[in-house]
A and B are shown apart, each in its own frame.
Chain A
Amino acid sequence: MSSQSSSSPPPQRVHKLADYESIVGAEVLEDLRTFADNISGKTVIHVNSTRAGGGVAEILFRLVPLMREIGLNAKWEIIKGDAQFFESTKAFHNSLQTGARLATKESFDHFIRKTEENLREMSLDGDTMFIHDPQPIGLIAKRKSNAKQLWIWRCHIDVSNPEREVWNFLAKYVNQYDAAVFSTPSFARSDLKIPQFMVSPSIDPLSDKNRSLPETFIDRVLSKYELDSEKPLITQISRFDYAKDPIGVIQAFKLVSDHIDCQLVLAGSLADDDPEGMEVYSKVVKAAEGRKDIHILLIPPFSDLEINALQRASTIILQKSIKEGFGLTVAESLWKAKPVIAGATGGIPLQVKNGLTGFLVHNIEGAAYRMRYLLRNPDIAARMGLNGREHVRQNFLITRHLGEYLLMILSLENHAKGERFSNRFEEKEEEEAAAAQTHTVIPQTHPK
């Protein structure tokens, strides 16, 4: 099925699992193969709404080939939608994240119409279906009643305080799945009847966006965007989205630049499924008018090497989100050993450990103060950066992500089979009791 997008990712080297060994260690890869051996040959289908822009597409672009390499028949499909559909789902998205009533009756009606069209055109016959975010959520109607399929709704956004009407509409779909997956514990819902797992998103350390780069390349990118390589650089990379508070970033920077000579880059692209992006971009440009030290860069999708270079050239990286699903740009920045100043929202506190890998802030003044602090204390900034890189290595790389999806499939399949795999632990107790009764003491080393 083709995307509504005309843009496709440029070819990048497809990495093999073995390529990750020097970063994550041999044990991680051995374990992935062990898990995969137990579900080898099964078809896993991921469905989302775009191949271009945003963290979900980035992850699937990397994850699906790795799933294939370990023996799964992994596929990635995209739903179709027109402009009105994506305006509706953007209204859903904003309603879920802000609690504001933004969806209309027409939004719901159009969503249902387009979902029915997708249901007619898509053949979703995998063993495990990962349906990402609200846009394709209605595909659950495709579930075959007699098939042993696993349907998993993978939610990447914050639904902890949603607008009630939109959530109730979506929850009817969600409860038909076998499980839901959220990015942080705070997104979990007490009103769902299905198991909810936590799987953090991830970055690929070998991708163009995250691999190491020659200094000469970084210098060329700085020159291209007329940035001063001698001056401290503060950067926020994100979609032009109100939730990322780009105007707040500019206001915070202005508070800092009055005292310390530095420069700001706000760089991002426009995603296919985000019709609001251009409006936000225009407002950001206006807010930066007349400032030579503020650079607003509209970077096309898949400018991964340039984004990588900008992050690596930065002194401090911001992610001053007001609402955030997870904020993968934070993990990207920490991986480059940069201290991150970020809004205490969504999945950011899992990544930014306050005072250790960066600072969590709650307002413009907080962001400004922490920028001043790190600019004046480069040794502390460097130490935080190193902490952050190790934190990401252990917790937010794609190999961990793949492993958790496999563990979840194994665990759900185990439950679906209805087999009493466990409790060896319980049986141990029973056996000990029996042994005690007959006075035949057979000490057991392990649970049985």
Chain B
Amino acid sequence: MSAVTYLFSQSESQQHRNAPFIFLKARYIVELTGKKARTLEEFASILATAEPTTLFYHVYHPLLESHLVPYEYPNDFSFWFSDSFQDKDLAEQIANISLPEKGGLEELREILLSKINAALERNAQFSVRSGNEFDFVKCRFVVYPTGVVAKNIDELADGISQASELCVFYHMVTSRLFKKSRYDDFSEWILANTSYTDLAEAIRRVDPTTHMHVRSMQQEVLGIIQRYLKNKNRSSLGRKS
């Protein structure tokens, strides 16, 4: 069953070289699995066969949720390991996970399982009390255009500056994870459609998981573009004079 629904035609979504950047966004709906873990062994077993959207939702989606109510840990897994499972060591390890380096959620699954399996050796017997189980969910998402397109780098900067959190999150996190890419959509477009290789590389160094809010990630990306273009204009003026 497809987890993704697109509210636009395939042809509209085609984005080739020399094509404009189409700003998209997605909304997510939680689908329940009915799978619950009381022990670390159960947790690892469910995680090993969980759908990719389960990993995405529990680890990365919290970035999109309210942080006005701050949590000690940035994702659902680490929060449960700390709050219910009482394994602060494991919680901290899972909290420090970034986006997969090679791209894709299978790499994340391997990382998670390796850390959990190591913890199993010291915490195999513990079982949380009834009501504190970890409830695994997955998600479906609907992707749709924002109506904003960018035909050049200035318009891309304008679009990012006015984009909603849903839009920035989609291009910086969701899209790259599900297309199994190492890179975000913005830098890919810049690389494909401009000569600003350095700019694309700088954006690729932005790690979404180091941010508590999508807004601050958006500001970081925008700041990189603005500084780059300013320096470029300055050096260009310098050459002319």
Note all chain A residues with C-beta closer than 8 A to B188.
Answer: 443-446
Q: Which of A404, A408, A411, A442 has the most CB of B within 10 A?
A: A411
Q: How many chain A residues have a CB neighbour from B under 8 Å?
A: 52
Whether A421 and B16, one on each chain, are in contact in the complex, defined by CB atoms closer than 8 angstroms, is no
| B126 at interface by CB-CB < 8 Å | no
A195 and B138 alpha carbons, distance in the complex (Å):
11
Whether A429 and B15, one on each chain, are in contact in the complex, defined by CB atoms closer than 8 angstroms, is no
Asked, given contacts A189-B34, A192-B34, A197-B29, whether A422 binds B2 with beta carbons under 8 Å apart, the answer is: yes
Note all chain B residues with C-beta closer than 8 A to A17.
Answer: none
| A185 at interface by CB-CB < 8 Å | yes
| B192 at interface by CB-CB < 8 Å | yes
Note all chain A residues with C-beta closer than 8 A to B175.
Answer: 446-447
Whether B69 and A353, one on each chain, are in contact in the complex, defined by CB atoms closer than 8 angstroms, is yes
| B125 at interface by CB-CB < 8 Å | no
Residue of B15, B30, B136 touching A444 (CB-CB under 8 A): B15
A410 and B142 alpha carbons, distance in the complex (Å):
8
Which residues, 117 to 176 on B, are CB-close (under 8 Å) to A? 131, 133, 135-137, 140, 142, 144, 164, 166, 175
- List the count of A-B residue pairs having beta carbons below 8 Å apart: 143
Whether A445 and B185, one on each chain, are in contact in the complex, defined by CB atoms closer than 8 angstroms, is yes
- Chain B residue with the shortest CB-CB distance to A415: B1
| B232 at interface by CB-CB < 8 Å | no
Which of B20-28, B205-213, B216-224 makes up part of the contact surface?
Answer: B20-28
- Chain A residue with the shortest CB-CB distance to B83: A354
- Chain A residue with the shortest CB-CB distance to B145: A34
Residue of B5, B166, B178, B192 touching A411 (CB-CB under 8 A): B5
Which residues, 383 to 397 on A, are CB-close (under 8 Å) to B? 387, 390-391, 394-395
Whether A198 and B30, one on each chain, are in contact in the complex, defined by CB atoms closer than 8 angstroms, is yes
| B85 at interface by CB-CB < 8 Å | no
Which of B6-14, B37-45, B93-101, B107-115 makes up part of the contact surface?
Answer: B6-14
Whether B7 and A34, one on each chain, are in contact in the complex, defined by CB atoms closer than 8 angstroms, is yes
Question: What is the size category of the interface that chain B forms with chain A?
Answer: 35 or more
Whether A198 and B32, one on each chain, are in contact in the complex, defined by CB atoms closer than 8 angstroms, is yes
| B191 at interface by CB-CB < 8 Å | yes
Whether B15 and A446, one on each chain, are in contact in the complex, defined by CB atoms closer than 8 angstroms, is yes
| B179 at interface by CB-CB < 8 Å | yes
Whether A198 and B142, one on each chain, are in contact in the complex, defined by CB atoms closer than 8 angstroms, is no
Note all chain A residues with C-beta closer than 8 A to B30.
Answer: 185, 197-199
Whether A387 and B68, one on each chain, are in contact in the complex, defined by CB atoms closer than 8 angstroms, is yes
Note all chain A residues with C-beta closer than 8 A to B133.
Answer: 186
A404 and B139 alpha carbons, distance in the complex (Å):
12
Whether A445 and B34, one on each chain, are in contact in the complex, defined by CB atoms closer than 8 angstroms, is no
Note all chain B residues with C-beta closer than 8 A to A192.
Answer: 34
A444 and B181 alpha carbons, distance in the complex (Å):
11
Whether A410 and B7, one on each chain, are in contact in the complex, defined by CB atoms closer than 8 angstroms, is yes
Whether A34 and B16, one on each chain, are in contact in the complex, defined by CB atoms closer than 8 angstroms, is no
| A182 at interface by CB-CB < 8 Å | yes
| A210 at interface by CB-CB < 8 Å | no
Note all chain A residues with C-beta closer than 8 A to B164.
Answer: 27
A337 and B137 alpha carbons, distance in the complex (Å):
30
Whether B7 and A38, one on each chain, are in contact in the complex, defined by CB atoms closer than 8 angstroms, is yes
A407 and B16 alpha carbons, distance in the complex (Å):
29
| A428 at interface by CB-CB < 8 Å | yes
Whether A407 and B34, one on each chain, are in contact in the complex, defined by CB atoms closer than 8 angstroms, is no
Distance in Å: Cβ of B50 to nearest Cβ of chain A: 14
A43 and B160 alpha carbons, distance in the complex (Å):
38
Which residues, 379 to 433 on A, are CB-close (under 8 Å) to B? 387, 390-391, 394-395, 403-404, 407-408, 410-411, 414-415, 420-425, 428-429
Residue of B17, B27, B179 touching A428 (CB-CB under 8 A): B179
Which residues, 181 to 201 on A, are CB-close (under 8 Å) to B? 182, 185-192, 195-199
Whether A445 and B66, one on each chain, are in contact in the complex, defined by CB atoms closer than 8 angstroms, is no
| B35 at interface by CB-CB < 8 Å | yes
Residue of A27, A196, A391, A410 touching B34 (CB-CB under 8 A): A196
Note all chain A residues with C-beta closer than 8 A to B77.
Answer: none
Note all chain A residues with C-beta closer than 8 A to B66.
Answer: 390-391, 394-395
Q: Which of A188, A199, A442 has the most CB of B within 10 A?
A: A188
Note all chain B residues with C-beta closer than 8 A to A421.
Answer: 2, 4-6
A357 and B4 alpha carbons, distance in the complex (Å):
34
| B226 at interface by CB-CB < 8 Å | no
Note all chain B residues with C-beta closer than 8 A to A446.
Answer: 13, 15, 22, 24, 175, 185, 188-189
Note all chain A residues with C-beta closer than 8 A to B21.
Answer: 445
Whether B33 and A188, one on each chain, are in contact in the complex, defined by CB atoms closer than 8 angstroms, is yes
| B202 at interface by CB-CB < 8 Å | no
The digit string for B62-74, where 1 denotes a CB below 8 A from any CB of A, is: 0001101110000
Residue of B2, B7, B69, B142 touching A423 (CB-CB under 8 A): B2
Whether A448 and B14, one on each chain, are in contact in the complex, defined by CB atoms closer than 8 angstroms, is yes
Distance in Å: Cβ of A56 to nearest Cβ of chain B: 20
| A356 at interface by CB-CB < 8 Å | yes
Whether A394 and B68, one on each chain, are in contact in the complex, defined by CB atoms closer than 8 angstroms, is yes
Whether B144 and A391, one on each chain, are in contact in the complex, defined by CB atoms closer than 8 angstroms, is no
Note all chain A residues with C-beta closer than 8 A to B185.
Answer: 445-446
Whether A422 and B4, one on each chain, are in contact in the complex, defined by CB atoms closer than 8 angstroms, is yes
Asked, given contacts A27-B164, A425-B178, whether A196 binds B31 with beta carbons under 8 Å apart, the answer is: yes
- 23 pairs of residues in contact across A and B, judged by CB atoms under 8 Å: A34-B7, A35-B142, A186-B131, A190-B35, A196-B34, A198-B30, A198-B31, A198-B137, A357-B69, A407-B27, A407-B140, A415-B1, A420-B2, A424-B4, A424-B6, A425-B179, A442-B16, A443-B17, A444-B16, A444-B188, A445-B185, A446-B15, A446-B188
5 A-B pairs closest in CB distance: A188-B32, A185-B135, A190-B34, A445-B189, A443-B192
Given contacts A190-B35, A411-B140, A447-B175, 19 further A-B contacts (CB under 8 A): A27-B166, A31-B144, A186-B133, A187-B32, A188-B32, A188-B135, A196-B31, A196-B32, A344-B131, A345-B131, A391-B66, A391-B68, A403-B27, A421-B4, A421-B5, A424-B6, A428-B181, A429-B180, A448-B15
